[in-house]
Structure 1
Amino acid sequence: MVRFKNRYITIEVCSSEVPENKPLALKSYLFHEALMDKIQQLHGDFGIAAVRTGLLTKYCNENTRIAIIRCRHGPHKFVTSALPFLTKVGKLDVTLRTLHVGATLKHSFVFIQKHQRSYLDLMWSKLKTDDERKALEAAVLDFTKTDVSLNKEGLLKL
């Protein structure tokens, strides 16, 4: 039995079209397709073949605009090299920032919690009522938005 090592890439999706206080309509399958197209463009068939088996968008949060991508160790270099060149996801113009590359999903979530805590402190000063603050905190610290089923459907098309 062979153990496959994975890398979890934490990225921040920035868009000048949508204001910061509005949620970004970021669907994981659209992001997956755009990333695969960019890897095809930059690294060709070899890059696609190396990345295809292990690439999966594990987490997308529309409020904080953070996503986690899982890929195999080794071909993760193709993914990290293609991320800065990805400028369009669906019909939305985006800029991607790589925040963290980790070996486990747990460490990625620990990093995201620290990062989102600082985001939450920044956004709390802009909200007026406690209800708005509680709703924002619940949305920011929600780690249940994984669309793995959508990713698996997208992988079956390839």
Structure 2
Amino acid sequence: MVRFKNRWFLVEFITVSPESSQQPSFDSKQLYSAVRQSVISNFGDTGWGAVGMSLTIKYFSPTTNICIIRVARDQHKLAWGAITLLTSVNGVRIIPNVVHVSGTIKHTQLAAIKHNREIISRFRARAKNPAAYHAQDSYEPYLVQSTREIEVLQE
């Protein structure tokens, strides 16, 4: 039995538009298509041939713009380059920020949950809500739901 070794990317897509607080108008399928196009335009068909079979988007949150991407270990640098060279997804200008790279999904899940909490705390600070109201704001159900969704991801 052969074990396939992967690399897991945790990527945050920062929107560049003046209305950066509004949610992006793209989903995981459009994101996959944009990464595919980035690989093809920057590394050619040979690059896509190397990366294409193993590249998958396992999780995408339109609320916090974070994404978990899996790719084969041997081609992870090619995929990383294509991700960082992305400039837009479905007409939305973005800046990709690779937050974490790991060899296991478990470490990526832990980093994603931690990063989600950091982003939500930034949202709360921007809204200037007192700390006592955090348990009652609209982000708490999202944190619970996203944590569950991230924890159930499997290779």
Question: Which range, TM-score by smaller chain?
Answer: 0.7 to 0.9
Q: Over aligned residues, Cα RMSD in angstroms? A: 2.3
- Corresponding residue for 1:87? 87
Code of the aligned partner of 1:96: P
Q: Does 1:49 align with 2:52?
A: no
Shift of 1:124: 2.1
- Corresponding residue for 1:96? 96
Shift of 1:128: 4.5
Q: d(CA) in 2 for partners of 1:60 and 1:81?
A: 19
Contact 1:18 1:24 in 2 (8 A): no
- Corresponding residue for 1:136? 139
Change (3 A) 1:93 1:122: closer
- Corresponding residue for 2:71? 71
Structure-1-length-normalised TM-score = 0.81
* Deviation per residue, 1:39-64 (Å, 9 max, x gap): 11111122111111111001111111
Between 20-29 and 62-71, the greater mean CA deviation after superposition: 20-29
Q: d(CA) in 1 for partners of 2:54 and 2:18?
A: 31
Structure-2-length-normalised TM-score = 0.82
Instruction: Report the 3-state secondary structure (helix = DSSP H, G, I; strand = E; otherwise coil) of the residue aligned with 1:36.
Output: helix
Shift of 1:11: 0.6
Query: Percent identity at matched positions?
Result: 26
**Correspondences of 1:1-158 after superposition (within 5 Å):** 1-17=1-17, 19-125=19-125, 126=127, 128=129, 130=133, 133-141=136-144, 142-143=146-147, 144=149
Structure 1: gaps spanning 5 or more residues: 149-158
